Copies of this chain bind each other. A is one copy, B any other.
């Protein structure tokens, strides 16, 4: 909920999406792109793309649009921490392990540096290339590796305690998969991913569509 400064979370999300699209285009050798082309691929409007890109400080030209390579570089300067950022993942259950696999080599400037769990069966190992520690070691490891990001992949009952520990250890941003609203200081950014809620939302609209189709026929 901590909406910092001038960049809205929606704009941020779109910028990440643009970069992904541009990276693919760059690999194909595309030198430049117009806003409406990028918009088409991103599911946005050309005006949105132009406004979003202005936030990064990069300008296009009317004749050639935006240079793909330069724009990727500009997005990198805007979005990334130059030295990269390690992530502390807490919760090595089914979801936690899937996230370990998923985020491995997904972004060059973001990696899961350490995973934590209270279950001694799960700690002391290396899973998907990531070392797993006891939760009691959290503060030390976070400090040692100067981690700023945390992923909460534990059951709802322990999520708040885990978030408190992460913040106490110096974490500044959280990606939370637990289906509760975390109470955090206002300078901490929390992004919630609520899998059940998302599926329920889909279920609602699908059920409604089914009813409409029944009524219509």
Q: How far is the CB of A78 from chain B (nearest CB, A)?
A: 8
B151 engages A107 (CB within 8 Å): no
Given contacts A196-B107, A199-B87, A200-B110, contact A97 B94 (CB under 8 A): yes
Q: Are B210 and A172 in contact (CB under 8 A)?
A: yes
Q: A101-B94, A199-B151 are in contact. Are A189 and B174 (CB under 8 A)?
A: no
Is there a chain B Cβ closer than 8 Å to A179's Cβ?
A: yes
Q: Please tell me if A17 contacts chain B, counting CB pairs below 8 Å.
A: yes
Within A92-150, which residues are at the interface with B (CB < 8 Å)? 93-95, 97-99, 101-103, 106-107, 109-110, 148-149
| A186: min CB distance to chain B, Å | 11
Bound CA span A172–B209, Å: 7
Q: What's the number of copies of this chain in the assembled complex?
A: 2
Q: Which residues of B contact A12 (CB under 8 A)?
A: 200-201, 204-205
| B99 and A200 form a contact (CB under 8 A) | no
Chain A positions near chain B (C-beta within 8 angstroms): 1-2, 4-5, 7, 9, 12-13, 16-17, 20, 41-43, 79-81, 85, 87, 93-95, 97-99, 101-103, 106-107, 109-110, 148-149, 151, 171-175, 179, 181, 187-191, 193-210
Contacts beyond the supplied A12-B200, A41-B181: 13 A-B pairs with Cβ under 8 Å: A4-B209, A12-B205, A13-B194, A17-B181, A79-B204, A95-B102, A103-B199, A107-B199, A148-B203, A148-B210, A151-B199, A175-B198, A189-B206
